[in-house]
């Protein structure tokens, strides 16, 4: 045993130490929490067992030879798509200034390997959504750690771990608060068992015509002006939406303005490009709004600006002055300073487009886009009489972030590895508690008694659309023929005992009792190998739980489709609890609105249900939603 391992062995015991050393671990994300988790994993000896892997592998701990129970190659696999930015260096301590613009995964591996050279680290500069990271990839791990910064990726990894039946340690921080959650299929609730708040969308007329808050101007610059000039149209933005309260005629006028701005975009590269953009959005469009006098009967009308009028007193070069001002991100610029920064950022972004960038999107760590959004938002705020803000403040609002705290990341990462130890302990059978005694752990800065609090892991929610289904695999033949959809339908009837059922893929419903047009079509038209899923929903009166299939391709000779495991028994869906009416007659029950994860899978093509579902959707749409603010390490769910 190495000297560095003796302290760990004394704390964990020899059996758990052996299990840790021969484990294979996946770490998704190498950012604020990810760097700290990787450091802790490496220093704890995860995946550090050397030698030949498989049945012949041996490990000696204190002179006792141990034969591993798993043929998985020990090691730590790090997957991250991001590159290192200057703003990362204040909390992601595996990176240094010379690493800027390099892939985080590669640099994290290089730096962490120096802490413990015996650990086998494999780095992937890629997206976890890539098709190569399928269910079989996840099945090759003993444990998965999530250190992600967005809900979509978290949900994806959660579902892949459920399908692969691999334990997941989920984590996140928001400012001084943090949370760690252990997840295991059929044992604990999953990440999607509790609904998550969604980002607020602003009505298009509020953003484009009647802003009253700084965030309205920021969203206008970030989701309308920047995409129209240097990216894709605002129609694809999630921040701006046409709502029922928007005036249809005004929306049509706003679309005409967007078309006019696209025409100005053709002037990109010319010296007067910034002036034409400025005069269009801060003079011509504002004058059109001012002409709508009924809109300003109870509020202050906007004041239009002209490029030449603001520039009149400027003696030095506007672009150079803007470049000098852009580094003063803590200062609140006046409107003339904002004009200079606006001209500078337009010039820089235009040069990037001329150099070959086809689409430039806002990124809080992209200084050029941040300069543009800050300057444009402040000028618009001035036009509408809204207080101006520094670029630093605008960065926080535009990125929907709470500044990340290095100590919060470090504490949360240490709790992640502690939960990892408990899960590994349950895998060797040395603990009878749920996942080896794992808990839901919280960092709570508001508590005056305890900084770290815990609660027992909750059981899975029976109605959860993500973890309640049964997961299985569908093996597709390699060179053994081309199955059609009818083959899949026949196999499901024979192997699972379905009578009436529907089949849904990411493209929508491809089969149900009323839709048989696709039965003779090749399955490859609807189903591809990778990390996508096929959902089979029982349409019978006493419906069984959903069956979710992931696809794999068999290299050996295979004549047709194969379901793995071969025999699958599906339980009935749990009955909904009947509310206690205390003897009073119950009112008409409200229709249940399915979540986005299973809306297509649970949809039925029966005509009598269409009116009820449509009514439920309208009520859901009319409901108010709160803004969910996350930082670059993303919060999960924090108790107040």
| Residues labelled as active-site residues | 205
Short-list 88, 71, 66, 55, CA closest to 23? 71
Q: Which residue has the tokens 């990810």?
A: 34
Query: What's the 3-state SS for 175-192?
Result: CCEEEEEEECCCCCCCCC
CB 192 within 8 A of CB 155: yes
CA 53 from centroid of its chain's CA atoms = 35
Exposure of 542 in the CB half-sphere (CA atoms within 13 A) = 3
Q: What angle do CA 153, 127, 202 make, to 5 degrees?
A: 45
Tell me the angle at which helices 32-44 and 406-427 cross, rounded to the nearest 10 degrees: 50
> Beta-carbon neighbour count of residue 472 at 10 Å?
21
Measured CA to CA, the distance from residue 387 to residue 55 in angstroms comes to 69
Tell me the angle at which helices 104-113 and 32-44 cross, rounded to the nearest 10 degrees: 30
Q: Which residue has the tokens 């299985």?
A: 472
Our CA dihedral for 274, 280, 286, 289, rounded to 10 degrees, sits at: -160
Residues in contact with 302: Cβ distance below 8 Å, sequence separation at least 6, in sequence order:
286, 289, 290, 383, 384, 385
Written as six digits, the tokens of 615 are: 């009514």
Measured CA to CA, the distance from residue 313 to residue 309 in angstroms comes to 8
Measured CA to CA, the distance from residue 287 to residue 293 in angstroms comes to 11
- Per-residue CA distances from 489 to 501, 510, 518 (Å): 9, 11, 11
Q: Which residue has the tokens 């069956």?
A: 547
Q: What angle do CA 317, 319, 325 make, to 5 degrees?
A: 100
CB 9 within 8 A of CB 63: no
397: left (phi over 0), alpha (psi -120 to 50) or beta: alpha
Written as six digits, the tokens of 74 are: 């020990």
Cis before 565 (ω within 30)? yes
Measured CA to CA, the distance from residue 38 to residue 35 in angstroms comes to 5
- In the β-sheet with 143-146, what is the strand arrangement from edge to edge? 121-124, 75-79, 24-28, 143-146, 168-174, 177-183, 439-443, 452-456
Measured CA to CA, the distance from residue 414 to residue 40 in angstroms comes to 7
Measured CA to CA, the distance from residue 32 to residue 368 in angstroms comes to 23
Q: Which residue has the tokens 């005056």?
A: 448
Measured CA to CA, the distance from residue 15 to residue 18 in angstroms comes to 5
């Amino acid at each position: 045993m190495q000297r560095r391992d003796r302290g760990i062995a004394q704390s964990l015991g020899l059996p758990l130490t052996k299990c840790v050393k021969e484990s294979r671990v996946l770490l998704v994300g190498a950012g604020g929490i990810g760097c700290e988790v990787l450091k802790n994993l490496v220093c704890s000896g995860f995946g550090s067992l050397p030698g030949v892997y498989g049945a012949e592998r041996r490990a000696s701990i204190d002179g006792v030879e141990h034969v591993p129970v798993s043929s998985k190659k020990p090691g730590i696999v790090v997957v991250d798509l991001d590159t290192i930015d200057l703003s990362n260096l204040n909390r992601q301590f595996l990176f240094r200034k010379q690493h800027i613009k390099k892939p985080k995964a590669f640099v994290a591996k290089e730096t962490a390997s120096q802490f413990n050279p015996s650990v086998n680290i494999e780095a992937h500069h890629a997206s976890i959504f890539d098709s190569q990271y399928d269910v079989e990839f996840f099945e090759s791990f003993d444990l998965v750690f999530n250190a992600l910064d967005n809900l979509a990726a978290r949900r994806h990894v959660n579902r892949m771990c459920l399908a692969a039946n691999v334990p997941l340690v989920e984590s996140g921080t928001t400012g001084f608060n943090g949370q760690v959650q252990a997840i295991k299929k059929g044992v604990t609730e999953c990440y999607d068992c509790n609904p998550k708040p969604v980002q607020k969308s602003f009505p298009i007329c509020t953003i484009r015509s009647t802003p009253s808050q700084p965030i309205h101007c920021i969203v206008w610059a970030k989701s309308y002006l920047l995409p129209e000039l240097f990216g894709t149209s605002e129609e694809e933005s999630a921040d701006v939406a046409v709502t029922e309260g928007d005036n249809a005629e005004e929306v049509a006028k706003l679309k005409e303005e967007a078309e006019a701005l696209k025409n100005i975009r053709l002037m990109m590269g010319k010296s007067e490009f910034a002036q034409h953009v400025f005069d269009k959005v801060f003079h011509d469009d504002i004058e059109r709004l001012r002409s709508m006098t009924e809109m300003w009967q109870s509020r202050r009308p906007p004041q239009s600006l002209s490029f030449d009028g603001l520039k009149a007193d400027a003696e030095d070069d506007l672009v150079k002055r803007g470049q000098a001002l852009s580094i003063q991100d803590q200062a609140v610029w006046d409107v003339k300073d904002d004009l200079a920064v606006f001209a500078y950022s337009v010039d820089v972004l235009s040069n990037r487009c001329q150099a070959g960038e086809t689409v430039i999107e806002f990124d809080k760590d992209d200084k050029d886009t941040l300069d543009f959004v800050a300057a444009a938002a402040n000028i618009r705020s001035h036009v509408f009489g809204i207080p101006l803000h520094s670029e630093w403040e605008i960065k926080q609002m535009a990125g929907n972030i709470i500044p990340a705290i290095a100590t919060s990341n470090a504490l949360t990462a240490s709790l992640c590895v502690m939960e990892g130890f408990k899960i590994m302990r349950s895998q060797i059978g040395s603990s009878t508690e749920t996942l080896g005694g794992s808990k839901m752990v919280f960092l709570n800065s508001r508590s005056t008694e305890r900084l770290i609090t815990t609660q027992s892991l909750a059981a899975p929610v029976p109605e959860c659309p993500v973890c309640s289904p049964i997961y299985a695999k569908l093996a597709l033949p390699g060179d053994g023929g081309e199955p059609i959809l009818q083959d899949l339908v026949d196999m499901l009837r024979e192997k699972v005992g379905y009578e009436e059922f529907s089949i849904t893929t990411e493209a929508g419903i491809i089969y149900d009792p009323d839709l048989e047009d696709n039965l003779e079509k090749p399955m490859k038209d609807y189903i591809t190998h990778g990390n996508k899923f096929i959902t089979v929903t029982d349409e019978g009166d006493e419906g069984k739980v959903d069956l979710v299939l992931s696809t794999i391709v068999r290299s050996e000779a295979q004549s047709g489709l194969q379901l793995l495991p071969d025999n699958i028994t599906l339980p009935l869906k749990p009955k909904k609890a009947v509310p206690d009416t205390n003897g009073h007659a119950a009112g008409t029950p409200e229709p249940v609105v399915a979540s986005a994860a299973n809306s297509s899978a649970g949809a039925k093509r029966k005509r009598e249900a269409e009116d009820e579902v449509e009514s439920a959707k309208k009520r859901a749409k009319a409901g108010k939603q709160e803004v969910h603010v996350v930082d670059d390490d993303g919060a999960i769910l924090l108790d107040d």
